[in-house]
């Protein structure tokens, strides 16, 4: 019998019309979107399904992504009856994993990421921070180059050959040059609104901690994998501190997947817009059994499970 993990994408995978068929064709999906509208005071269907300039702004993106992935997950569970053994999410996606694991209610996950997005958006003035993707270079080699620099760090260990760095804009640009000289194939500046998962966002993490103080956290019904440690979390006592740290800490996604693989997980179901995590999975373990759910019709793929 398969050991299944639900995995959830992070910010950057959003697009107009994401989840629209789940909203229009399923009662459960519609309920999730409508509840989000009620909680946040603006129309979530309008944000997600109609062309606008807000969907790519962090303070809106995060709530839209989490609402969409949770709606898809709840429909999947109801229609297919599939239950995961473990869950994980990339950066923002960790909040979907928390909802899936019963650590947070769906409502609290949506409300919390709305505040998280605002705090991250406001943390650093535009233009001061930056992020870059470093391609075709070993993580250990990148760590070595960055070890002698201040103001820049690894933000994401996505998969072999793809590491993201983050920090002060000038330091990121300087690091790019050093990494290219040291053997990186490419260093690509990313179109993002802030230096996410860098020490520049430590203050935002502290403010998020105050938001989390008011959130009811429960012991996980099933384990989830923390971005910060790449280890299973099975007790509520550490959840809030890890979420505070997550804002300014490296996302250890590759290591998180390796933890699940070591535990015997053999089937990964990516739930949410895009196929980012499925792409990473093929580079972490080429023969992994991966499904992607972003359209209602994708549920039919799971009939083999």
pLDDT of residue 301: 93
Overall fold of domain 4-124+199-304? Malonyl-Coenzyme A Acyl Carrier Protein; domain 2 (3.40.366)
Q: What is the pLDDT along the chain (305 residues), one digit of tens a residue?
A: 789 999 999 999 999 999 999 999 999 999 999 999 999 999 999 999 999 999 999 999 999 999 999 999 999 999 999 999 999 999 999 999 999 999 999 999 999 999 999 999 999 988 899 999 999 999 999 999 999 899 999 999 999 999 999 999 999 999 999 999 999 999 999 988 889 999 999 999 999 999 999 999 999 999 999 999 999 999 999 999 999 999 999 999 999 999 999 999 999 999 999 999 999 999 999 999 999 999 999 999 998 78
Task: Extract long-range pairs of 277-286: CB within 8 Å, 24+ residues apart.
Answer: 277/7, 277/8, 277/9, 277/90, 277/253, 279/159, 280/158, 280/159, 280/162, 280/253, 280/254, 281/159, 281/257, 283/159, 283/160, 283/161, 283/162, 284/159, 284/160, 284/254, 284/257, 284/258, 285/257, 285/261
Asked if 4-124+199-304 and 129-189 have one fold, the answer is no
pLDDT of residue 148: 87
Residue extents of the structural domains in the chain: 4-124+199-304, 129-189
Spatial distance between the Cα atoms of 143 and 252, rounded to a whole number of angstroms: 13
Q: Which residues contact 240 (CB under 8 A, 6 or more apart)?
A: 209, 212, 213, 215, 217
Backbone φ and ψ for 64, nearest 5 degrees, come out as -65, -45
One DSSP character per residue, the chain reads ---EEEEE--TT---TTTTHHHHHH-HHHHHHHHHHHHHHTS-HHHHHHS--SSTTSHHHHHHHHHHHHHHHHHHHHHHH----SEEEESGGGHHHHHHHTTSS-HHHHHHHHHHHHHHHHHHS-TTSEEEEEEES--HHHHHHHHTT-SSEEEEEEEETTEEEEEEEHHHHHHHHHHHHHTT-SEEEE---SS-TTSGGGHHHHHHHHHHHTTS-----SS-EE-TTTSSEE--GGGHHHHHHHHTTS-B-HHHHHHHHHHTT--EEEEESSSSHHHHHHHHH-TT-EEEEESSGGGGGGGGG-
pLDDT of residue 304: 78
pTM for the full predicted model:
0.97
pLDDT of residue 111: 98
| Tokens representing residue 79 in the block | 């229609």
Q: How many CB atoms lie under 10 A from the CB of residue 126?
A: 8
Question: Is 91 marked active-site?
Answer: yes
Spatial distance between the Cα atoms of 269 and 73, rounded to a whole number of angstroms: 10
pLDDT of residue 63: 98
Tell me if the domain spanning 129-189 has CATH number 3.30.70.250: yes
- How many angstroms separate the Cα of 18 from the Cα of each of 22, 115, 191, 271? 9, 22, 20, 12
Q: Select which of 69, 166, 193, 197 is catalytic.
A: 197
Sheet with 86-89, side-by-side order of all strands: 232-233, 224-225, 86-89, 4-8, 267-271, 289-293
């Amino acid at each position: 019998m398969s050991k299944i993990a639900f995995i959830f994408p992070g910010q950057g995978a959003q697009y107009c019309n994401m989840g629209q068929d789940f909203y229009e064709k399923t009662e459960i999906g519609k309920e999730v979107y409508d509840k989000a509208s009620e909680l946040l005071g603006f129309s979530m269907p309008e944000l997600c399904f109609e062309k606008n300039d807000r969907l790519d702004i962090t303070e809106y993106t995060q709530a839209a992504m989490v609402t969409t992935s949770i709606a898809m997950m709840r429909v999947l569970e109801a229609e297919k009856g599939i239950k995961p053994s473990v869950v994980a999410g990339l950066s923002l996606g960790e909040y979907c994993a928390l909802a899936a694991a019963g650590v947070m209610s769906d409502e609290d996950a949506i409300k919390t990421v709305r505040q998280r997005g605002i705090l991250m958006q406001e943390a650093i003035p535009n233009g001061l921070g930056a992020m870059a993707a470093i391609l075709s270079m070993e993580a250990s080699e990148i760590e070595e180059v960055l070890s002698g620099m201040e103001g820049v760090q690894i933000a994401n260990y996505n998969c072999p050959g793809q590491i993201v760095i983050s920090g002060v804009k000038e330091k990121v640009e300087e690091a790019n040059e050093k990494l290219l000289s040291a053997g990186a194939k490419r260093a690509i500046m990313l179109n993002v609104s802030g230096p996410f998962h860098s020490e520049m966002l430590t203050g935002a993490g502290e403010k998020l901690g105050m938001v989390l103080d008011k959130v009811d956290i429960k012991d996980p019904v099933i384990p989830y994998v923390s971005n910060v440690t790449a280890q299973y979390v099975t007790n509520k006592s550490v959840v809030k501190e890890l979420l505070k740290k997550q804002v300014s800490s490296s996302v250890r996604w590759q290591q998180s997947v390796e933890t699940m693989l070591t535990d015997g997980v053999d089937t990964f179901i990516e739930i949410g817009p895009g196929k980012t995590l499925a792409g990473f999975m093929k580079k972490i373990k080429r023969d992994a059994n991966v499904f992607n759910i972003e359209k209602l019709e994708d549920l039919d793929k799971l009939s083999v499970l």
